[in-house]
Structures are given as C-alpha cells and as structure tokens.
Amino acid sequence: MSLDLKLDWSSFTRRVFIQASSEKLYRLWCTQKGMESWFIESAKFFRQGEQIPRDELFKMNDTYQWKWHGWDHLHEGHIINTELNKHLIFDFGRAGKVKVSFEEGDDETQMILTQYDIPTDEDSIRNYYYGCTNGWSFWMLNLKAFVEHGIVLNNPNNPFDDPIKCELINA
C-alpha cells in the first residue's frame, strides 16, 4: 500500500483554542490598539486615506501599515473582508492572503488561521509556507498567552539584523 503524501504548498491552516470570547479575540485582531498589545509594534489602519482611531474596528476595503518589532520593514496591505466577531481576511503581500476566523464554544474560542494563495516556487515555499507557518504558530500562541495569562512571549527589543534570527523562537 502506498500513501499519497503530496503537500499543497499553496496554503496551510493552524488552530488554537483560547479561553476568551470571539468578540474579545476579534477586537485584538481588528483594532490598532489590539494588534499592538500582542503582535505588531505599530499597526495603522486607514479608511479612504484617513487613519482610523486606535480603538475603532477596521472594515472591508480599509488599508493597513504594520511595522514589525525590531525590523525596519513596513508591511502594507488591505482588508479584503470582515464579519464582526466571525472572521477577517487580509492580503499578506507576496505571501498570499490570510483568513482568521473564530468559532466560539462554551468557555473557549477556536481561532483558525489559514494562509492561502501562497506562490509555489522554491523560494516562496521556503519563505512563505515554512516561514509563515512557523511565524503564525508562534504569534497564535503569543495571543493565547496574552489573553489567558497577561504575558507576551515575544522579545520586542530583538533586532532582526542578527544572523540567529531564524533560530529564535521568541523573535
């Protein structure tokens, strides 16, 4: 018997259960204040060219600018779709698109992150499939630690110009 172990390099999904409501998790993902509390050094959102307030939820067709901790790169993109407390979809540059959805249970919410439309050339598989799989796994656990225990696992002072950056699990 032969097993078909062919991987689809164009997408992946990661899931985590977090003891919080979908509403709380959605606000942590969909506001500048929320994202900066556990994820991004600076997250700005714009509606028709005007920056929206830190506590306001972003919406479909808004644009964003993210500055990662310890890295000079400014990531820009747009919000493809949102459904209040259910999901958000955003473009992730050359790495494809990301959908984050929330399925609420009795005392916890399952957060499901799918990155898709990933290019399948060798560099993209290495940088976006493997790199983003590892990155999102860490950030999802970072969000869980933040929500359930009030701590962040990342080191916001770590510069990304160090050759050991790929070895660090709390970059």
18-41 pLDDT per residue, tens:
999 999 999 999 999 999 999 999
pLDDT the model gives residue 4: 58
Ranked by mean pLDDT, the top range of 6-10, 63-67, 71-75 is 63-67
The 10s digit of each residue's pLDDT in 76-113 is 999 999 999 999 999 999 999 999 999 999 999 999 99
Phi and psi at 81, nearest 5°, equal: -160, 150
Q: Is the dihedral of CA 22, 64, 62, 79 positive or negative?
A: negative
Q: Which of 140, 138, 146 is nearest to 168 (CA)?
A: 138
3-state DSSP call for residue 101? strand
Number of other CB atoms surrounding residue 74 within 10 Å: 11
Half-sphere exposure of 27 (CA within 13 A, CB side): 9
Phi and psi at 127, nearest 5°, equal: -80, -40
pLDDT the model gives residue 62: 98
The 10s digit of each residue's pLDDT in 112-163 is 999 999 999 999 999 999 999 999 999 999 999 999 999 998 877 765 555 5
Fold of 12-149: Alpha-D-Glucose-1,6-Bisphosphate; Chain A, domain 4 (3.30.530)
140 close to 147: Cβ distance less than 8 angstroms: no
The yes-or-no verdict on residue 165 having pLDDT over 70 is: no
The amino acid at residue 125 is I
Spans of all domains in the chain: 12-149
pLDDT the model gives residue 94: 95
pLDDT the model gives residue 72: 78
Phi and psi at 3, nearest 5°, equal: -95, 135
pLDDT the model gives residue 31: 98
pLDDT the model gives residue 68: 87
pLDDT the model gives residue 158: 63
Strand order in the sheet with 97-104: 12-18, 109-116, 97-104, 87-91, 74-83, 63-67, 42-47, 50-51
